[in-house]
Structure 1
C-alpha cells in the first residue's frame, strides 16, 4: 500500500514544499483532502465515507502511538437492519465497516534540512528513518528505499511520527530536488525510547549537478514516455567495491519523458561521471558517452536519439 510510506509524515495532511516536485504528490494531495476524525475518550471514531468504487483506507497517526494503515475492506462489514415496509424508492442503507486498531507506543523524530551554503530550506527533500539489520553484511547495511519517510517543508522542517521504539538511522534523500542525498553511513543514529520524542535532528545538504535533455526517435521527433535512467559511469567499479546502496538508488530512479520528450535529473554528486540510458518499446535502447559534472560545469545537456530496434 503506497500510503504506508507516508503514514509517518506529520505534514502528510497539509501542503509542504513544492507539491509538484514531491514523489507521491498525487497521494499527498489526496491526503490533504481526506476525511479526518479524532478518537473520543473511549477510543472510538466514525468516518462517513461517500459512495465510491474504491473503499479506500484508514490511517491512524499521532498521539504518541505507532502509525498504522488498514484498508476499509479489511475489516468486517456491519450489515444495517432493513427498514420494515420501506417504499421501493427508499435509498439503500449506507454501507458500514468496522476498522479497528491495536496500537503500540511510538515516538517522533523531527528537525530541519537546510542548504549548506545559504541555509535556505531544502524543500522537497525526503527524510527517511530506517532500521539497519544488525545481521546484514556491511555492504547491505543501509536504509531501505521503502522506510518511513517525510517531506521537507517550505520552512526546511520535517517530522516523522509514529515510529517504533528502538534505533533508527535518519538520512535525507534527493527526492526530485537539486540536493544530493546523504548515504546511510553518514546519516544520524537516533534511539527512540518510550515517551520521548527526539527533536533537533538537523542536516546541511549540498546542491548537486543536473543532466537534462530531449529524447527523439528515428524521425528526430520528441518521444513521449521513453524511460530514462542516469547511471554512474564507474558502475562496474562500484559493484566491485560493494557500493550496493548507491547502485540500487540509481537503478530504481527511472523516469519517463514528457510529451515534449524532455527529461531532467538533479541532485547528482559533482566530481563524477555519468551515462544516460534511454529506452522505448519498439526502439533500440541507447546509452550516452560519459558526462562529467563539476563545480565549474554542474549542468549538462544530453540529447538522445533512439533508432529502430
Structure 2
C-alpha cells in the first residue's frame, strides 16, 4: 500500500475509538463493543537489529539516506540514517517482520522499498528473531525522474525564489526545488516512474498555481515521468497578486507603532509581516476576495488590544488605507500556589471572555505569578489548568462549573486573581499482551468518574 496509508488508517481508527470514549464520559459509563486494532507489542521495545549498506547507482556510498522500518501492518518501528560509508543499523526491534523504506533526502536518486520495490504493497519483508541481528539488507538506489522548467511573471521577468513542489498520486509531497535568479529550477530528489502533479507556490508578491495554470491540487494537470529522465519544459507564468497597505499608530498619542504583526487571511491567500519604523506595512500576493486583517503585538509586555478589519482585495490592485489605531488593554494578574502557599511555576492559566473572541494562555513564573495583557473591556473567566494538581476555575470553583466572572475595564489592571491548588491523585498501571506478556505501546487509557 502507499507509504503511511496503513499507519494513517490505524491512527484514524484509534482516534475514532478514543473520541467515542470521550463523548461517553459526559454520560453514565457504558460498555462499547467495537472492532479493535490488531494487538501487538511495541515494535521498538526489543533488542533485535537490522543493518545494511546503501549505495548509489553508478558507484559510491549513499550518505544521509533515511531508512525506516514499519511492521507489516503499518506501525512505525524504527529509523536510522546512513553514514558517510552508506551503512545503517536500526535497533530496538522485537521479533517480527518489517518493511524497509529507503528515502534519499536530496540528490538525483529515487526512494525505494526493500527489495527494489516502488511501494510498501510490494516490499519484501525482513524477518528478525527476538534479540537477533539481520545483516546484509543492502540496496542500490537507482537514478530517479526529475522535473525542470522556468517560472516567469506576467509582464516578463522571473519572480525571485519561487518554491516548486511535486506531489505523487496520493497527494504526498515527494520532491521540491526553488527557482534561481533566472527563474529556472530542477526538482530533487529523484522519483520513481509514475504520475505527478506540480505546484508553484506564491511568493515575491505573485499568486501561486498548479501546472498547467490550475487553481488546486485536485484540478492540477498530471505529468508522467519515467526514471531516470528529466521532464523538461514544465514552465509556469505567475500572475501578480493584490496588496493590502496601511499604517498602525498608537490611539492615544497618534505616533507610529513599529514591530506590530499584521496578517491577512482569506480563501485566496495569506500574508503577514511587521510594521516598519514609520508604522507602515504591506501584505502581498493576495488573490481577489475578502480577507480578515489583524493587527496584534507579539510581545505580552506590549499592552495593546488587537484590532481586526474585513478588507476586500481585487488583484492585482492594492487596497490602501487599511489603518489601525491600537489602544492599551486591560490586565489580569494573580498568583498560583500549592499546599502551604508554595508558589507553582509553569501553571497554565486560560483566560477567555464570554463570546470567545478573546482567548489567551498565560503561565506562572518561579514566584507563581502570571499576567495577561492586551484585554479589551469586558467580562472574563479564568481557568487554572495544572498538570499535577487539580484544575479549578476562579474563585475556587470546580473545573466543570463556571468560574466567577471578572470585569476588566481597559486600561486598568485587575490584580489578586489567585488560586491555591490541591495536588491530585494518580492512577498508574501497565498494559501488556495477554498472550505474550510483552508491553503494549500507544494504547489509549481513559478514566470515567
- Choose which of 417, 422, 431 in structure 2 pairs with 1:307: 422
Q: Give the whole-Å Cα distance in 1 for the aligned partners of 2:261 and 2:209.
A: 18
Is 1:167–1:192's contact at 8 Å kept on the other side of the alignment? no
Deviation at 1:60, TM superposition (A): 6.1
The structure where strand makes up a greater share of residues is: 2
Larger Rg: 2
- Decide which moves more: 199-208 or 120-129: 120-129
Matched residue, 1:150: 273
Q: Give the whole-Å Cα distance in 2 for the aligned partners of 1:105 and 1:156.
A: 25
Secondary structure at 2:341's aligned position in 1?
coil
Deviation at 1:132, TM superposition (A): 7.2
Matched residue, 1:178: 303
Q: Give the whole-Å Cα distance in 2 for the aligned partners of 1:110 and 1:66.
A: 20
Matched residue, 1:227: 348
Matched residue, 1:191: 313
Q: Give the whole-Å Cα distance in 2 for the aligned partners of 1:101 and 1:257.
A: 53
Deviation at 1:227, TM superposition (A): 1.1
Q: Give the whole-Å Cα distance in 1 for the aligned partners of 2:369 and 2:235.
A: 45
Matched residue, 1:105: 240
Is 1:61–1:67's contact at 8 Å kept on the other side of the alignment? no
Is 1:125–1:172's contact at 8 Å kept on the other side of the alignment? yes
Q: Which runs of 5+ in 2 are unaligned?
A: 1-177, 187-199, 211-226, 229-233, 395-403, 425-449
Deviation at 1:147, TM superposition (A): 5.6
Task: Identify the structure with bigger relative contact order (alpha carbons < 8 Å, sequence gap 6+).
Answer: 1
Q: Give the whole-Å Cα distance in 2 for the aligned partners of 1:164 and 1:181.
A: 25
1:168 and 2:275 correspond: no
Matched residue, 1:39: 180
* Deviations, residues 218-266 of structure 1 (Å, cap 9, x unaligned): 242222221111122xx2xx4xxxxxxxx1641xx22333344332211
1:202 and 2:308 correspond: no
Deviation at 1:160, TM superposition (A): 1.5
Q: Describe the shift of the 1:153–1:210 C-alpha distance in structure 2 as closer, same or farther (beyond 3 A).
A: farther
The structure where helix makes up a greater share of residues is: 1
Consecutive aligned runs of 4 or more in structure 1 exceeding 6 Å deviation: none
- Choose which of 404, 409, 418 in structure 2 pairs with 1:294: 409
Secondary structure at 2:383's aligned position in 1?
strand
Matched residue, 2:98: none
Secondary structure at 1:283's aligned position in 2?
coil
Matched residue, 1:278: 384
Is 1:38–1:45's contact at 8 Å kept on the other side of the alignment? yes
* Deviations, residues 87-136 of structure 1 (Å, cap 9, x unaligned): xxxxxxxxxxxxx9954531221211111111233444432323379xxx
Q: Describe the shift of the 1:151–1:217 C-alpha distance in structure 2 as closer, same or farther (beyond 3 A).
A: farther
1:62 and 2:204 correspond: yes
Q: Give the whole-Å Cα distance in 2 for the aligned partners of 1:169 and 1:269.
A: 19
Q: Give the whole-Å Cα distance in 2 for the aligned partners of 1:108 and 1:290.
A: 42
Is 1:67–1:162's contact at 8 Å kept on the other side of the alignment? no
Q: Which runs of 5+ in 1 are unaligned?
A: 1-36, 47-57, 69-78, 81-99, 134-145, 239-246
CA RMSD of aligned residues (A): 4.2
Q: Give the whole-Å Cα distance in 2 for the aligned partners of 1:67 and 1:294.
A: 47
Q: TM-score w.r.t. structure 2 length? A: 0.39
Q: Give the whole-Å Cα distance in 1 for the aligned partners of 2:334 and 2:235.
A: 49
Deviation at 1:280, TM superposition (A): 0.8
Is 1:213–1:263's contact at 8 Å kept on the other side of the alignment? yes
